[in-house]
Amino acid sequence: MTETDGSHTLQVCVLVPTYNERESLPGVLSRTRAAVPEADILVLDDASPDGTGEVADAWAAGDERVRVLHRPGKSGLGQAYLAGFAWAAERGYDAVVQMDADGSHLPEQLPRLLAAADGADVVIGSRWVPGGAIHHWPAHRRLLSRGGNVYTRVALGLPVRDATAGFRVYRVPALLRLGLADVASQGYCFQVDLTLRAIEQRLRVVEVPIDFVEREQGRSKMGGEIVREALLRVSLWGLRRRGSQLAQRLPGRPSRAGRRQPELLSSGQEPAP
Ligand SMILES: Nc1nc2c(ncn2[C@@H]2O[C@H](COP(=O)(O)OP(=O)(O)O)[C@@H](O)[C@H]2O)c(=O)[nH]1
Ligand SMILES: [Mg+2]
């Protein structure tokens, strides 16, 4: 995407993962085209039984900026995004956007996220920073998101308020430094995994407030299994991080150069020599 309004000049590909989103997808595509007309869109469909892939193909036939990657079957949000990242990197995009297909992420707020990407490697559209909001979520989902983020922040020592957020921008060269080949996480955990990797690589991570709106059509694909995966993996990563921090403080062990306190890690400073 080459914007001429001065806000940013990035070639952008918006990645939209879909599984059974045939009612929601057309609205999201048309709103995205209106909000960021110069961006390309890649729909990542996992052979949705409801025919979402065909709906996407019909759109792509009438709009050369919309493309569809058909994947053979449901293999989770994380794997779909990894395929999308590889697709965009091969084609030389400067930045990729992660955006849900169910309308929860407002395409109208994309320009705000992209503007922030001018000075950052990772932009997280955050529900849990001042100005961020969640609309039409029942109390139990709010609690799950809030509790999950507080736990993640404490367990991992991350300087991020909404590590599970799925509305993001990544600069592609920065993304390629995250060692994506061994990412195995799936649902919310995928977002936490990449946040942790970004912080550990000392990428410039910023959070921008967004309005998250509960879907009006279709059903959520995230269930108890996805929550359990996140809890288990985050706990293991937390133990690993705490363990390695402790090991560095033991007498006789020189502290490893380049390791800094988590609070400083998203400042965008260059790693210590
Ligand atoms: N390609 C693909 N997309 C998925 C998969 N699971 C979920 N999605 C998409 O990921 C986005 C977020 O999922 P959703 O069910 O809305 O999660 P929730 O917002 O946390 O309830 C939606 O666009 C889904 O269609 C999957 O296995 N494969
Ligand atoms: Mg959703």
Can you give the pLDDT at residue 90?
98
Query: CA-CA distance, 61 to 63, in Å (whole number)?
Result: 6
Atom number of ligand 1 nearest to Cα 21: 25
Can you give the pLDDT at residue 3?
42
Pocket test for ligand 1, best of 221, 222, 225, 227 (most atoms within 8 A of CB): 221
Dump pLDDT digits (tens) for 35-61: 999 999 999 999 999 999 999 999 999
Determine the average pLDDT of the residues in 15-31: 98
pLDDT band at 8 (very low <50, low <70, confident <90, very high): low
Can you give the pLDDT at residue 123?
98
214 CA to middle of ligand 2, Å? 7
Quick check: CB of 158 below 6 Å from ligand 1?
no
Domain ranges of the chain: 4-250
Can you give the pLDDT at residue 223?
84
Query: CA-CA distance, 21 to 28, in Å (whole number)?
Result: 10
Can you give the pLDDT at residue 254?
55
Quick check: CB of 46 below 6 Å from ligand 1?
yes
Please report which helix (H) or strand (E) contains residue 207, including its range: strand 205-209
Q: Exposed (0-12), middle (13-18) or buried (19+): which is 92, by Cβ within 10 Å? A: exposed
Dump pLDDT digits (tens) for 144-166: 999 999 999 999 999 999 999 99
Q: What percent of the chain has pLDDT over 90?
A: 80
221 CA to middle of ligand 1, Å? 6
Indicate the range of 32-36, 147-151, 204-208, 265-269 predicted with least confidence. 265-269
Q: What pairs with residue 70 in β-bridges?
A: 45
Whole-model pTM? 0.89
219 CA to middle of ligand 2, Å? 8
Indicate the range of 175-184, 218-227, 250-259 predicted with least confidence. 250-259
Question: Higher pLDDT residue, 256 or 63?
Answer: 63
Determine the average pLDDT of the residues in 229-252: 88
Can you give the pLDDT at residue 41?
98
Query: CA-CA distance, 85 to 123, in Å (whole number)?
Result: 16
Tokens of 233: 């993996």
What is the pLDDT of the chain when averaged over all its residues? 90
Quick check: CB of 74 below 6 Å from ligand 1?
yes
CATH fold label, 4-250: Spore Coat Polysaccharide Biosynthesis Protein SpsA; Chain A (3.90.550)
Determine the average pLDDT of the residues in 238-263: 67
Ligand showing the shortest atom-to-Cα distance for residue 83: 1
181: helix, strand or coil? helix
